[in-house]
Structure 1
Amino acid sequence: MELDNIEKLLEKYFEATTTVAEEEILRTYFLSDDVASHLEQYSQMFRYFSNAKEERYTKPVALKTRTTIYKWASVAAVVVFMLGFYFTSTVHTSPEDLEEVYTAQEIAAAQEAFALLAMNFNKGTEQLYHLEEFEKSTNKFLIKE
């Protein structure tokens, strides 16, 4: 009966459905001297697991620290990068400069395009309002408040 129970537990163990208590039963069975001959191959595995559980790494781990020159070099690189970014950033053009660059006809065409874009955005927001109202009315029927 015990051998049948061990075989069932072994099947559960390989399916990864055993509990900790069942694994402990398997561990004690396979670490004992009276293991069935057809299950002896698994006793080596459980012996390895119990030995590996007890192993500890005892050598000291040497952690290499960066020298201070690398730390200061990275700080200096960040400072140089930020200063370069600050001084090379593009200056925003003022409206007077735009009038010098573009003709009045080009500016009027851009304003007309922006007005058309705004009108289309307003149509889209109208559709969203209808969708919101539809959602409210369907929720009234679906969710009884």
Structure 2
Amino acid sequence: EKYNNAETSLAEEAQLRAYFQSDDVAPHLEHYKPMFIYFSQAQQEQYTKDVPLKPKRTKMYQWISVAAVAVLMLGFIVPQFMGPSEAEKQEALLVYNQTMEALSLVSIGMNEGKEQMSNLALVNEGIDQGAQQASMLGEFNTITNRILKNK
């Protein structure tokens, strides 16, 4: 029981292994004998294949990291030396200003169209009010005709 609970010392375990490997094991402990025989055989087994200490893929990952650092460095350094010239910057600024003027004109046209649409909405409201008053006048005429005919 002490052995199964891992409460034995190394000397006690060696004594147990020697007892169970002998031929005179008590009959009520006979079922433990195969377990101790297996442990002694497993202890003598050895792994004979070579274990590689460094995986082969490590070198590939190292080169990938070196390439990534090189690309980043080129990304920071090249634009400083090969950036746009002053003439190209001036031309880009001119094109930008022309684009802003064109967009401003389009915006003015859109605002004028918006004002005209609001004027049309006012006219539409006036027409709706006139149609409503005309229908009321029609109802008034119908009621008036009924009153006059009935008298």
TM-score, reference length from structure 1: 0.43
Structure with higher Rg: it is: 2
TM-score (norm 2): 0.42
